[in-house]
Amino acid sequence: MYEKLMEGLSMTFVGVTVVFASLALLCVIIYLFPLFTPKKNKTSSNEVLPEQKDNEPEKNVSSDDSLVAVLTAAVLASMKKRPDVEIRVTSFKRIQQTSPIWNGVGREEYIFDKLS
């Protein structure tokens, strides 16, 4: 009986030691992982670099105004003319697409299926 108890305790000790040693090794690997990956450029893709400002074409103000009008009409149409809410779109900012194209298409199909 004593031998089986000691064997069980030794197996438990070995198992716990192996688990904690592997977790410690995994922590070290995760900590060192950024050293092995290539570094990305830290400038944001939305920022305009000084050398790009000269090459940027002039913005068409009339198309921006018409786009603001269209956006305002779309917002008001989606709100179904609630009298208690006043909305006025004064400007807009284009953002880059951060999700994959298949993700956006899936969302559009889901919304289309819900509307029809």
Could you read off the pLDDT of 59-96 as tens digits, one per residue? 555 667 788 788 878 877 777 766 677 777 777 777 78
Residue type, 42: K
Q: Answer whether 0.75 is exceeded by the pTM.
A: no
For residue 18, give the amino acid letter. V
Please say whether the beta carbons of 43 and 49 come within 8 A: yes
Enumerate the domain spans of the chain: 61-94
What is the phi/psi pair of residue 38, to 5°?
-70, 145
Residue of 19 and 36 predicted with greater confidence: 19
Say yes or no to pLDDT of 15 above 60.
Answer: yes
Mean pLDDT of 26-38: 86
d(C-alpha 45, C-alpha 58), whole Å = 20
> What is the pLDDT, as a whole number, of residue 20?
96
Rounded Cα gap, residues 23 and 17, in angstroms: 10
